[in-house]
Chain A
Amino acid sequence: MAELEKFDEAFLKKLEYLYIISRKIAAGAQRAERKKRIVGSGLEFADFRSYSPGDDLRNIDWKIFGRTEKLFLKLFEEEEDLYIYFLVDSSRSMSLGTPSKWNYARQLAAALAYIGLSNFDRISIIPFSSGLDGRLPPSRGKAQIFKVFEFLNGLDSGNQTSLQDAFKTFVSQNKRRGIAVVISDFYDPAGFEEGLNLLRYHRFEPLVIQTIDERELDPKILGDLQLVDCETGMVTDITVTPGLKKEYIKAFEKMCSNIEDYCVKRQILYFKAPIQTPFDELILRIFRAGGFLD
């Protein structure tokens, strides 16, 4: 049973505070009239973005190509209910340590879900690991927040991480496009790109929040050890030396920067979320980045 999160009155107050802040940050918010960015489904031109393989060729702006010889896509706005899907990584790697990334992820999901519900957006929470580990059907309205809390509290940690398999199932099951907030540590042996690509290809708008435990950045282990992967159970004999630790930290940071680079190149909002940082600070950072509110 996953550790029960304290979604109590104090937490609710925090969420309300965050919502108020979000209103201040977002300009001219109207009920169900928020500007969304959904590729190719609206009429009103919104913006350009760089072309990525898989995008709809009908939206390529050939005039810009003629001028610059670079492919850009036109983005259109669509006025409809915004669906926000919270894809929360519930694999075992998220549950390691105390406090764990899993708890943090649930707090984030709850907070962002509250904002969305307060904006009358439709919120759905879908935990995943090697596949989808449950689903909170899309809900609307502030009053649904308690369902969100109850759902999040009732979640258990899953097995291994497979973004590709999980997201494949997700895109096939959810036809209504929207924002897909992926909250994960991205410890997928197969990599993260295929999974995120699936979301993009199926016209979901990914927002990536990578949860990081800073204790993993500086593992206090040395000597002859057997490292056991908490998800796969794979055992690796290793002699951890100070030099090797340094190499590991470099590799970890490279992994994080790879994810960030990927997101930046594809204009996917990316946030690194160290769990040592209070979640509300991260939420505010997300707001200021503008990705969640617009």
Chain B
Amino acid sequence: MQFTGLDWSTLSTLMGLSALAVTVLYVLKLRKRRIQVPFAPLWQQVLAEKTHATDLWKRLRRLLSWLLHLLLVALLGFALGDPHLEKEVVEGRHIVLLIDTSASMASTDVSGAVSRLELGKQKAQEVLKTVGPEDRVMLVTFGDQLMPLSPFVGEPAILEAALHSMTVLATGTAYSEALTFAADSLRDKKRGELVIISDGAGFDPSLNSVEFAKTTTVRHLIVGESSGNLAITGFNVRRYLANKLDYELFVRVESFFDRPVEAEVEIWADGRLVDAKPMTLQARQTFQQFYPSQAVSGERLEARVRLKTTDARDVFPLDDRAYALLPELGKTRVLLVSEGNLYLEGPLLLNQNIDLTTVAPTAYDPAAETDVTIFDRFAPAVLPEGNFLFIDPQGESSPWESRGDEKDPIITQVRRSHPLMRWISLKDLNIGVAQRWRLDSGDESVATSIDGAAIVATRKAKGRSIVGLAFDVRASDFPLRVAFPVFLLNVIDYFSLDESTLVESYATGEAWPVPVGSGLNEVKIIRPDGTSQEAKVFEGKAVVYGDLAGFYELNGDGFRKIIAGNLSNSDESAIAPVKIQAVDQVVVNDTSSLVFDRHELWIWALLLAMVLLVFEWLSYNRRWTV
């Protein structure tokens, strides 16, 4: 028997004093009442007739009340000592409850709960129920980041709310960090218990180097039963430079089934189903494909994979969707410096992606803000930095020195791979007259006449990107060709203004530095689940931590930007449960020795004392003991 209550010296003092008080009170209780009777001699006669043989028994019976009181005192002292069986463990434990909230815990391959995390919460509740008055518990969640929800507390009820509010995050799992934290927290504790509630998906024993103290017991309560999963681990979309309405899709789907399965990938644009692409995946196959020329409008694209094989079940829903943003179609500001040229103005005005401004050469302002400047038969004296198209430039300010004219030049050499020549042909182009330019060393001739004169040239130097057309378009049939407006678009695209042909999505579980431009101190972020948060801006970038897959909207003063976050984590999509191992230590996979019964013997001692008290009262009132 061991006693964990009051110490022995205090107990013995208390019991001694109580026994003394009981004895004094008992002696006082023995004082006799005086009763008046009509004829005492009759009582004396009866008394005299009683034999002496019963005297000893009467004395002993009288002592019974006193003995009962002493027994009561002894029982109370026993209860105060808080006795426990010798083999019972009474010393307090420090328990770290480590709960996995990574994406794989959203898998639904469990019975008795809707997801692995919900099952894990139930197991955690069972552990909390075993906590004794001497134990201390710390609740920690981990995904790709560690989050202690409490210090070591002695009251499990405090942790109930935190346990209840845990949710799955669309992140990976940082096992090493979590185990290291747990090991360090329990290192100096006499009795440490680490209870890991996780599916162990993605755990690599070879990378685990965490060592636990000898006084720490490591337990891993595995949740999860299967590995069947289809995951979209890659989804991107890129606009074509030539046709901004067209884009190209990239989809990567991984199968974690051990057999072939049929699936279908649906493409949604701004909430509308726009396409469905069937596929067949072999066992554990990674399927990836580009889908070109997907001509559909929309900004927010979503890919959803759906298992079509009827006798298989995809138990992990978080990686069945991926999100991507189509690059924005921005308007290009074009400044046409011309005395008037309908052939130029027409195609530029008709293009809804071009914002055209036309000025006369005399009104040209070099400081005007523009993306592309087209000089029609004009060359400014001072050429600022920027992007310029010179059409038959005149004067000494021309970028190219003219060495005369060439009549009826025939274009014989064209660099077809050049972006300016994309989708056009200058064959049989009729040109009345073209300038003969002297090209500098850095210049490039894109189209050359039979005489070797550059008809179309380019130059990039000192912050300027220049394309030159050596002839007046009105002195040719160029404007009458389909190639002419395409050429103008090619020129604009050539200047790389539309940099955003591809918007990369962000991977969840990381901090994203999102460029938001200067002038903002903080932005408001609306998360995929509709909640909002604030993010500070440092050096033009807002730091956003994304733990959910979906679209995030950033808003600031006059600023709005949408970004996409995806799980895209093959390790996390490999949801097959794995047993966590520890270095030089056996990891227990159950709670057999964690959950134990405590025998509160003091309660029984008190109950027995109450029964004895009732018996003593009864025996005294019925004069059994007096």
Contact = CB atoms under 8 A, between A and B. Distances in A.
The A contact surface, by secondary structure, is mixed
A226 B32 contact: yes
Contacts of B623: 222-223, 240-242
B626 interface: yes
B42 A234 contact: no
- Which of B35, B39, B45, B47 has most A Cβ within 10 Å? B39
Given A238-B47, A251-B46, A229 B32 contact: no
A242 B623 CA distance: 8
A239 B33 contact: no
Interface residues of B, number: 22
B58 to A, nearest CB: 7
A225 B35 contact: yes
Nearest to B623: A222
A227 B38 contact: no
Nearest to A95: B38
Given A225-B32, A226-B34, A229-B39, A236 B44 contact: yes
B37 interface: yes
B381 interface: no
A276 to B, nearest CB: 16
Nearest to B33: A225
Contacts of B37: 96, 219, 227-230
Contact of B40 (A216, A224, A227, A251): A227
A252 B42 contact: yes
Interface in B49-105: 49-50, 58
Interface string B535-547: 0000000000000
Contacts of B43: 227, 236, 238, 248
B46 A224 contact: no
A22 to B, nearest CB: 32
Contacts of B42: 187, 248, 251-252, 255
B36 interface: yes
A248 B42 CA distance: 7
Given A239-B626, A244-B46, A251-B45, A223 B38 contact: no
A170 to B, nearest CB: 22
A148 B39 CA distance: 29
Contacts of A66: none
Interface in A193-226: 213, 216, 219, 221-226
B38 A187 contact: yes
A236 to B, nearest CB: 5
B30 interface: yes
B463 interface: no
A247 interface: yes
Nearest to A245: B46
Interface of A: 93, 96, 185, 187, 189, 213, 216, 219, 221-232, 234-242, 244, 247-248, 251-252, 255
22 contacts: A93-B38, A221-B35, A222-B623, A223-B623, A224-B626, A226-B32, A228-B36, A228-B37, A228-B40, A229-B36, A229-B39, A230-B38, A236-B40, A236-B43, A236-B47, A239-B626, A240-B623, A241-B623, A247-B46, A247-B49, A247-B50, A255-B42
Given A225-B32, A247-B46, 8 more contacts: A223-B33, A226-B33, A226-B35, A228-B36, A231-B39, A232-B40, A239-B626, A244-B47
Q: Which 10 A-B pairs have the closest CB atoms?
A: A229-B40, A93-B38, A187-B39, A222-B623, A224-B32, A226-B34, A247-B46, A223-B626, A226-B32, A248-B46
